[in-house]
Amino acid sequence: MGGGMFFLVCLMLLAHSSILVRPKKLNDNSLEGKNIFILAGQSNMAGRGSLVPMPSECQRNPRILRLNAKLTWEEAQEPLHQDIDIHKTCGIGPGMAFANSILERDSARVGVIGLVPCAVGATNITAWQRGGFLFNQLVERAQAALRDGGRIRGILWYQGESNTDNLENVKGYKGKLETFFKDIRSDLKLPQLPIIQVALASGQNATYTEMVRKAQLEIKLPNVTCIDAKGLQIQSDKLHLTTEAEVRLGKMLAGAALKIMEHI
Ligand SMILES: *[C@@H]1O[C@H](CO)[C@@H](O)[C@H](O)[C@H]1NC(C)=O
Ligand SMILES: *[C@@H]1O[C@H](CO)[C@@H](O)[C@H](O)[C@H]1NC(C)=O
Ligand SMILES: *[C@@H]1O[C@H](CO)[C@@H](O)[C@H](O)[C@H]1NC(C)=O
């Protein structure tokens, strides 16, 4: 190839790459692209609220996606955890109300929300420690969620009812919860990843439930905030939030997430 020809080819390539296929430049701080949230914990995060009638706050929206068990994105709909929390019948959780509420309150800035359900019913904090199935599954799903772009904006965490059955389970709770938060951030290589946790609304024993709540409310790690579910309506099983309560919780979580995203 002669020098002139080479120059011409280079020029064409340059023009092609810079004009024709240059991707739309996104401001690095923008909330466009996929804003990914991980949902983890136990049954009240997975959802046990009645699916009928479906509240308007939980309707599907083309801008809300869900990473399914096959690690593929699809349009999200309740029950979000149906192929993750597979040993129980899933219902309404906070996830769709959370995502719809964010879009309603900040739709101009927020592009698409990607939800990564990881919660499994009746799981104690020991079962969530590093090396266990739940921890590994969360990390694997979070990594898969990032494969075609987007940013993980936070973890929504609601767990602890399974640690309210005896004193031994309560005693180690705070330390194990902190360790879980630190380890998950470290393994996701997101040391400042915001975590929004929920302080219990219910448990198996009132005294122990108060002790677990105290541990949750006392966690003082940077970028870990706590939403209090106490007082939200509980079903007749005395453990699970009603659909209405899950919707309210979803909106509370959205408020906390938007506060974090203000700084982005
Ligand atoms: C926590 O859950 C694990 C796994 O389900 C179980 O083996 C263990 O006995 C539980 N731990 C306590 C302290 O209840
Ligand atoms: C908290 O997270 C936000 C968003 O990722 C980040 O900008 C901020 O620096 C973090 N703050 C702390 C104290 O880690
Ligand atoms: C909680 O458990 C303790 C110890 O077993 C028991 O003394 C107490 O009555 C229980 N409290 C409730 C409200 O169930």
Ordered by start, the domain boundaries in the chain are 30-261
pLDDT-derived band at 8 (thresholds 50, 70, 90) equals low
- Measuring from atom 11 of ligand 2, which residue has the nearest CA? 223
pLDDT (mean) for 17-42: 67
Q: Tell me which CATH code domain 30-261 carries.
A: 3.40.50.1110
Mean pLDDT computed over 171-189: 98
From CA 14, how far away is CA 101, in angstroms rounded? 44
Measured on CA atoms in the order 173, 167, 119, 45, is the torsion positive or negative?
A: negative
pTM of the model: 0.89
Dump pLDDT digits (tens) for 50-105. 999 999 999 999 999 999 999 999 999 999 999 999 999 999 999 999 999 999 99
CB distance 122 to ligand 1 below 6 Å: no
Share of the chain above pLDDT 70, in %: 89
Residue 244: C-alpha distances to residues 129, 155, 255 (Å)? 31, 22, 17
CA distance 71 to 119: 15
**Does the annotation count 43 as an active-site position?**
yes
pLDDT at 263: 77
Q: Of all atoms in ligand 1, which is nearest to the CA of residue 169?
A: 13
Q: What is the pLDDT of residues 126-178, one digit of tens each?
A: 999 999 999 999 999 999 999 999 999 999 999 999 999 999 999 999 999 99
